[in-house]
Amino acid sequence: MEQYQVMESVQRFVEQHPQNTIPQGLPDYEDLAGMVVYQPPLLGFASAEDPLFIRLKEWEAVGPQHMTPEEWLPAAKSVISFFLPFTRKIKESNYQDMKIPSREWLYGRLEGQTVVDDTCQFLVDFLRGQGFEAVAPSLDARFRSKKESQDPQFHSFASNWSERHAAYICGLGTFGLSKGLITKKGIAGRFGSVITSAPIEPTQRAYAGLYDYCTMCGKCGENCPVNAITVQGGKDHRTCSPYVDLTSQLYAPRLGCGKCQVNVPCQDGIPNLEFHQDSGDMVPLSDV
């Protein structure tokens, strides 16, 4: 299968998804009806046999609970990762007040996640329709997040399939200090992925190290309302996570913060185009 066949289908699907536009008549959102949530998607592809997938089982990476593409799908040949970047309006709305999440951002996190899930399912159906096998780990009954699992083997705040690590391996971008993934369309948006038996040419990664696209400028940490990010210490998930949980109580059924992803040099693109060529490979994984 050719990359462009997948790209065109996914792009069309996202553009036409009803929840990719804030609808008329949604309570509290009447004035925002018609606002588009996502820009056109970015897609990346990797071989299911890429050795980096095995390395995600290391404790320094995601952890031993992380499943390889073959464990999800024995006939796996390729991994497809997509990034749905938020539109500028969604991003700009979220730095009008740095203490509370904007309504646009909250919509993007809840209804926007429906678009991501539906895009995963669309891709699975599309690939099966072409005669291939396909699995979306995030929709699979075997998927476990840390919060759902009582398994002490689970690395802190890590699931058994990491969308951001899959996106890194598929060539979509590198991590930032805030632990988001910086892509050529910036850091603010949502990721999804599918594993398939379809052979697809892998995307050439334009980087060598985990943090190549991050300048370590620290602006994401300055934006954080609970000081969960420092240049010296990285991101403390144990500080961030309770704060995001609190927003789920305040804004139920919505939630979100995202102040570390807006009004930052990596908001809309790659801030550091002179890559750190000496940053090595997958070693500095610590708490990504």
Sites of contact with ligand SF4 (CB under 6 A) = 176-178, 214-220, 223-226, 228-229, 235, 240, 243-244, 257-260, 264-266, 271
Minimum CB separation from ligand SF4 for residue 273, in Å? Answer: 12
Element (H, E) at 43: strand 42-47
Q: Which is nearer to ligand SF4, 197 or 247 (CB)?
A: 247
Minimum CB separation from ligand SF4 for residue 99, in Å? Answer: 11
Task: Classify 94 as helix, strand or coil.
Answer: coil
Q: Which is nearer to ligand SF4, 122 or 191 (CB)?
A: 191
62: amino acid identity, one letter: V
CA distances to 24, 64, 256, 272 from 27, rounded to whole Å, are 9, 44, 18, 41
Taking residue 2's Cβ as centre, other Cβ atoms within 10 Å add up to 10
Nearest to 199 by CA among 15, 73, 8, 48: 48
Q: Which is nearer to ligand SF4, 11 or 241 (CB)?
A: 241
Minimum CB separation from ligand SF4 for residue 230, in Å? Answer: 10
Nearest to 195 by CA among 265, 239, 140: 140
Q: What residues pair up with 85 in beta bridges, in sequence order?
A: 189
Minimum CB separation from ligand SF4 for residue 39, in Å? Answer: 18
Minimum CB separation from ligand SF4 for residue 62, in Å? Answer: 19
253: cis peptide before it, omega within 30°? yes
Q: Which is nearer to ligand SF4, 101 or 192 (CB)?
A: 101
Q: Which is nearer to ligand SF4, 33 or 216 (CB)?
A: 216
Calculate ∠ Cα 178-221-262, nearest 5°.
Answer: 70
Minimum CB separation from ligand SF4 for residue 212, in Å? Answer: 11
Minimum CB separation from ligand SF4 for residue 209, in Å? Answer: 13
As a whole number of angstroms, the distance between CA 130 and CA 114 comes to 24
Q: Which is nearer to ligand SF4, 56 or 266 (CB)?
A: 266
Q: Which is nearer to ligand SF4, 10 or 224 (CB)?
A: 224
- Dihedral-angle region of residue 92 (phi above 0 means left; psi in -120 to 50 means alpha; beta otherwise): alpha
Question: Distance between alpha carbon 19 and the CA centroid of its chain, in Å?
Answer: 18
Q: Which is nearer to ligand SF4, 64 or 218 (CB)?
A: 218
Task: Classify 186 as helix, strand or coil.
Answer: strand
Element (H, E) at 128: helix 103-129
Minimum CB separation from ligand SF4 for residue 185, in Å? Answer: 14
- Output the residue with the shortest Cβ distance to ligand SF4: 176
